[in-house]
Each structure stands twice: as structure tokens, then as C-alpha cells.
A = this chain, B = another copy of it.
Amino acid sequence: MIIVMKHHATADEIAGVVAHIESLGFQAHLSSGEERTIIGVIGDERPIEPEHFELLPGVERAVRILHPFKLASRDFHPDDSVVKINGVSVGTQQVIVMAGPCSVESREQLMETAAAVKEAGAHVLRGGAYKPRTSPYAFQGLGLKGLELLREARDELHLPVITEVMSPQDVTLVAQYADILQIGARNMQNFALLHAVGEIQKPVMLKRGLMATIEELLMAAEYILSHGNTRVMLCERGIRTFETATRNTFDINAIPVLKSLTHLPIIADPSHGTGKWELGTPSARAAVAAGADGLIVEVHGDPAHALSDGAQSLKPDKFAAMVAEARRVAQAVGRTI
């Protein structure tokens, strides 16, 4: 932490800050510039917030030096983590594709879609049983029935399953049915839920919140990691900006930035990242070109009658074409799908 004193800070104010730093068990290091005195805080600053110092008399501002995350950081874990899920490895040179319907709606819908995405090259089946919906009047998912159908598809097609968990009470149950637990964007800072999935031993895919910085995403991962679960994947799924032409702004920069800061695998979600199926394929190609370790894609046999997210769901034939295009791009950047 660096503490910048005000232009006319007095010697007493500087001494007060130094004493405060030392009272917290840190060392202080002074540096007098032409217009400002700067005080360095020596020690592991992660547990404290810069704002803490900003209310001491004479302080102009405080700036964090270390990233506040540790377990998620490449500093202490330079090599890529590989997350293994029933024979599928995420975080290697192979780009992993997860695909399936937004919501599980019926056995027929799920089985047909699951068979189609497997045929097209998907490695993991996605499908929602518990659905976070903006409106209380919208379809909220089949719940346990949805989990059972996912299990059935999983066993029949030998595809690992990823599905969302929305509440700490449901973690144990969902973990019995799914291979990967998904934390949705709106729950990225649901700390009770992060705590709960940190205590089980199942891979977790954590989606970036609409409003979350890259640092906050990594801090949310740190919650899970610090509770003992090391199999964490991150997912860039678009952020909210002023632009309304697309549902979200897919933050393509986040992929290489995350790859440089963390050892965890990075999945890209072009369906939510754009909100429109016809933009999904260009964005999927772009995500692979930018270095994503995986894709997660919404596929539906009849999007116009989907109970959720139809607008961003690909039909199976379009999905197969997307995989083929993404594969060519993967090869162009030295990877496979």
C-alpha cells in the first residue's frame, strides 16, 4: 500500500499515519517528493483496504500495490491449472466446448439437444434446472426433475454435465447430479453461496458478474479456493455497458488479461456475451482467437419456443457450424477442439 499525503500535510499528520501503520503490525517507509510525502506500507497488505487510510488526517489517497487475491494469482502458482472432470481436462491445449439448452424443459427436448451437441463435438452438456429470472412471472426451471433428466442424459451419452446452483441449501443436492456446478453472473458475489461451493469437492465454473471487475471476479474465485475447493474455472460472459445494441458487451480483453493474472482456466460464453444467436459464432471465433480454454454455448432445437433465452440459442445445425469454424480458428492459434 502506498499512502499519498496532501500537499500541505503537517509533520504531525505524517507521524500520525506512521503510528497508525505500525499499530496494525506493518512497517512504514517514507519518501518525500517535491510536492507530496509518500508513505509505503511494508507487509502483506491484502487484508486491508486502501480506504481505511484515507480518513486519517492529512491523507489524500491510498493505493493498493498487491493484487488482493493470492490463491488465484500466478504469483504463487505460475503454471496453468488443469481442471479434470470425468475424463475431460480443461486448461490444456484443447479448447473444451460445453453446450446444451438454457433450461431443461422436457426429457424429449433435452435428449434431442444433448445428442445433437455431442454429435457436433461438444465435450460437456449444459442445461439449467434452477433458473435465475429477472421476472418472478417467468419460467423458473424444473428443479429436481430437471436435475434427474440431466443425470439421465449424462449417463446415456457419457457427457459430463454442468448446471447452475442458486442457493447454499441446494449445493449438496445439485452436486449429486452434476459434474460441474455453475455460479451464475448475478450470484458472483453471493458470498454465502461461494462459501458453500468452496466446501464441496466438485469443479465449479464461476461466471463474471455483469458489473464485476476482473479483480472482483478473481476475489470471488479466491472465496471458493480459500474454502478448500481448487477446481475452479472462470467464465467471461459479457459485461454491462452503455451500449444497447447488444444485450451485453463481451469483454474480449478479459481473456488475455485473466490468462496473465491467474492460473485458472478461462471459459467464454458467446451466447450471453452477445445476447443474439447470430452474433454468437463471430464471438465464439474471437474468443478462441483471444486464447479462451473453452466455450459454453446455448443450443435449442426450436429457439422460438424456448422457455428461456431463445434469442441467443443456436439451432443444432448452426451450432455444428460454429464448432467447425471455432475449430479452424483453434488450429490457427496452435490448439485443437
* A contact residues vs B (CB 8 Å cutoff): 2, 4, 7, 20, 29, 31, 33-36, 38, 40, 42-44, 46-47, 49, 51-52, 54-56, 63, 65-66, 68, 75, 132-138, 140, 166-170, 186-187, 189-193, 209-211, 213-216, 219, 222-223, 226-227, 239-247, 249-257, 260, 273-279, 282-283, 285-291, 303-304, 309-313, 325, 328-329, 331-333
Contacts and interface: CB of A to CB of B under 8 A. Distances in A.
B289 A282 contact: yes
17 contacts: A34-B44, A51-B310, A133-B191, A136-B226, A166-B192, A168-B169, A169-B169, A169-B192, A187-B190, A213-B242, A241-B241, A250-B251, A253-B283, A255-B282, A256-B283, A328-B332, A329-B329
Most buried by B among A43, A47, A290, A309: A290
B33 A223 contact: no
Contact of A66 (B35, B49, B313): B35
B132 A189 contact: yes
The 6 tightest CB contacts between A and B, nearest first, are: A211-B211, A51-B311, A167-B192, A289-B289, A286-B286, A285-B289
